[in-house]
Amino acid sequence: MSQLSQSVPVLNVLIIDDNSARVAAIQNALTGTAYDIQHLASTKSSLLKEVESSNADIIILDMESPSRDTIESLSVISNYNPKPVVMFSTQDNPALLQESISAGVSSYIAGQIDPQRVKFILDVAVARFNEFQELKKELRDTKEKLSSRKWVDQAKALLIEKQGITEQEAYTAIRKMAMENGEKMEVVAKNLVSMAKLLAGGR
């Protein structure tokens, strides 16, 4: 086992490229780095199938102009199995750039591949991808907290109105029910509000 594999996680790379000489140059440039080219595929192949079969950690796409199917496939990957994607294209097209980024491309390079710069480009793409995923997680966590707070506030208001207790007592009661039932406070709060609506509707 090499020293690299002992200290740095190796990322499996999927290359979609029809130029065998260019692929060989990239392979040579990435030898001894944290990027291991495990799978090669043609631009005519199904991107979704290639990604699934290769178990790739990062994707390199090199094509003159990405097709609509390619953009849609990248969007599916971004939504369900996100990973860093580097796209090389001969098209210096701002609209295509924006469309590709929106579909989940981490780095869009217009022009020919310089094999000696590929490692640096991959490093940047991975860093951008990780940062973006962290931002998405923070946003998701914030939305969940706001949703949870909304339900707890509704349940507190309900208990205050129906039982004539203080806000702190209502909060304590919801927390106690959550602990006793092994559930999140949001779940208990939703159940209380739903039950109150059900009872009110049955009158």
For helices 167-181 and 118-163, give the axis angle rounded to 10 degrees: 120
DSSP character at residue 14 = E
Closest CA to 110 of 124, 121, 123, 119: 121
Domain ends where: 98, 113, 128?
113
Do residues 14 and 92 share a domain?
yes
Our count of domains for the chain comes to 2
Percent of the chain, pLDDT > 70?
94
Do residues 10 and 62 share a domain?
yes
Do residues 158 and 93 share a domain?
no
Interior angle at CA 45, CA 42 and CA 48, nearest 5? 125
Assess whether pLDDT exceeds 80 at residue 111.
no
* pLDDT tens digits for range 14-68: 998 888 888 888 888 898 899 988 888 887 888 888 888 888 899 998 877 678 8
For residue 177, give its domain range: 142-201
* pLDDT tens digits for range 59-102: 998 877 678 888 899 999 988 889 999 988 877 778 888 888 89
Evaluate whether residue 129 is within a structural domain: no
pLDDT given for residue 7 in this prediction: 56
Closest CA to 38 of 9, 10, 12: 12
**How far apart (Å, rounded) are the C-alpha atoms in residues 150 and 143?**
11
Evaluate whether residue 130 is within a structural domain: no
Contact of 45 with 54, CB cutoff 8 Å? no
Evaluate whether residue 133 is within a structural domain: no
Evaluate whether residue 128 is within a structural domain: no
